[in-house]
């Protein structure tokens, strides 16, 4: 698959400004707005947004707005709630919450042509992660896989801390890294094209030959910090400062590391080494804690339930992961942030 449409390339395959690439941001929240605003400002692509509600109204009225390094970056935005009105894109960057993707995927077909790249910039384990079986925890009934063709997908990991101060307005705190890669591993021309586009927009972009490892490695830290901070309301420094909580997090991470070894995502670090890296970031609020404080549903399935499901499929014991999942699920249901059990 060639990400570059023949109609918009020079003979040597390079993109030109004469014919704009078409990029659509699906989910213009914190991550989607962060990436969309910078792509739009770079001027290498015609950037639009598929949005709804307050985010749609804000984009239509104010355009892309990003506060970064003490300055406001603001550019006009084309935004619509109807994918048909936006048409087929070269790149569809999906930045909705994982629990919302199944619903969103059903409406994305008008954006996806034979050469479109779909780039999910989301937390946790994606639906395509396991080669031989689907994950019921993140794609029950295979809805996402049925609507987003596997051939179109390129993996992505976001290393940045961003938040929305109000609909359509993103504040950048720290981090500027994006990792992209083929789901099956190795390197490709289309992924390099995506990496180059993002690099020109100012991101520190890496073209990974093993994006599954990169996803698992980021998850290894989020797996504990996100739900523990969400339940306790504590910033990361307080989570790590409590020896009992820290030891529990380490036990969860050891179980996840064992699962990683079985699926080819070997993590060489110890939990303590990862804790030390997190401590260097100081006091920060995880994305799940931010969601709890804003009254939004939590991404528990992609971050914790998927890891438990993979462990069960491999018949590996996960008592600490089970406890973490059960406690956070109960917390979420009690506060109306996670769906009640069906049946």
- Residue pLDDT, tens place only, 220-242: 999 999 999 999 999 999 999 99
Q: CA-CA distances (angstroms) from residue 180 to 43, 226, 271?
A: 21, 23, 25
Comparing 123-132, 211-220, 306-315, the range with the smallest average pLDDT is 123-132
Domains in the chain: boundaries: 6-209, 214-333
Q: Given this structure, which CATH class describes domain 6-209?
A: alpha beta
- Residue pLDDT, tens place only, 108-123: 999 999 999 999 999 9
Closest CA relative to residue 292, chosen from 338, 224, 223, 323: 338
Instruction: State the DSSP code for 174.
Output: E
Q: For 172, left (φ over 0), alpha (ψ -120 to 50), or beta?
A: beta
On the question of pLDDT at 343 being above 70, the answer is no
- Binned at pLDDT 50, 70 and 90, residue 53 comes out as very high
- The set of catalytic residues is 218
- Residue pLDDT, tens place only, 129-169: 997 889 999 999 999 999 999 999 999 999 999 999 899 99
- Binned at pLDDT 50, 70 and 90, residue 5 comes out as very low
Mutual angle of helices 189-200 and 30-42, in 10-degree steps: 80
Instruction: Give the pLDDT score at 132.
Output: 80
The rounded distance, in Å, linking the Cα atoms of 55 and 38 is 17
Q: For 298, left (φ over 0), alpha (ψ -120 to 50), or beta?
A: beta
Comparing 70-84, 100-114, 241-255, 278-292, the range with the smallest average pLDDT is 278-292
Find the Cα–Cα–Cα–Cα dihedral 72, 75, 80, 85, rounded to 10°. -160
On the question of pLDDT at 17 being above 50, the answer is no
Instruction: Give the pLDDT score at 15.
Output: 38
**What average pLDDT does this structure show over 184-192?**
96
- Binned at pLDDT 50, 70 and 90, residue 342 comes out as low
The rounded distance, in Å, linking the Cα atoms of 156 and 206 is 10
- Binned at pLDDT 50, 70 and 90, residue 281 comes out as confident
Q: In the chain, pLDDT over 90 holds for what percent of residues?
A: 88
Pick the CATH number of 214-333 from 3.30.450.30, 1.10.1040.10, 3.40.50.300, 1.10.3720.10: 1.10.1040.10
- Averaged pLDDT score across all residues of the chain: 92
Angle in degrees, CA 161, 287, 195, rounded to 5? 45
Closest CA relative to residue 163, chosen from 153, 154, 173: 173
- Residue pLDDT, tens place only, 189-212: 999 999 999 999 999 999 999 999
On the question of pLDDT at 243 being above 60, the answer is yes
Instruction: Give the pLDDT score at 341.
Output: 83
């Amino acid at each position: 698959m060639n990400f570059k449409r023949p109609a918009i390339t020079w003979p040597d395959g390079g993109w030109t400004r004469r014919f704009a690439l078409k990029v659509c941001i699906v989910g213009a929240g914190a991550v989607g707005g962060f990436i969309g605003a910078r792509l739009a400002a770079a001027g290498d692509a015609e950037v639009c947004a598929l949005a709804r509600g307050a985010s749609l109204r804000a984009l239509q009225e104010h355009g892309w707005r990003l506060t970064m390094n003490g300055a406001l970056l603001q550019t006009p935005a084309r935004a619509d709630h109807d994918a048909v009105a936006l048409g087929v894109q070269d790149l569809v960057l999906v930045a909705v919450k994982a629990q919302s993707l199944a619903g969103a995927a059903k409406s994305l077909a008008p954006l996806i042509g034979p050469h479109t790249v779909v780039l999910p910039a989301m937390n946790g384990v994606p639906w395509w992660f396991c080669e031989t079986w689907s994950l019921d925890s993140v794609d029950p009934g295979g809805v996402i896989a049925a609507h987003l063709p596997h051939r179109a997908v390129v993996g992505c990991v976001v290393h940045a801390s961003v938040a929305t101060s109000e609909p359509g307005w993103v504040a950048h705190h720290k981090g500027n890294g994006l990792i992209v890669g083929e789901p099956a591993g190795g390197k490709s021309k289309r992924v390099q094209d995506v990496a180059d586009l993002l690099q020109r927009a100012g991101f520190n972009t890496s073209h990974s030959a093993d994006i599954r490892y990169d996803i698992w490695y980021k998850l290894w830290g989020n797996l504990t910090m996100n739900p523990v901070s969400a339940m306790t309301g504590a910033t990361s420094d307080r989570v790590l400062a409590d020896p009992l909580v820290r030891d529990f997090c380490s036990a969860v991470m050891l179980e996840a590391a064992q699962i990683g070894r079985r699926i080819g995502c070997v993590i060489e670090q110890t939990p303590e080494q990862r804790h030390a890296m997190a401590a260097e970031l100081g006091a920060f609020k995880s994305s799940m804690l931010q969601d709890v404080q804003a009254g939004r549903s939590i991404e528990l399935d992609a971050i914790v339930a998927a890891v438990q499901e993979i462990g069960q499929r491999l018949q590996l014991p996960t008592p600490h992961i089970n406890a973490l999942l059960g406690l956070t699920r109960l917390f979420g249901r009690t506060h109306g942030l996670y769906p009640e059990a069906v049946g």
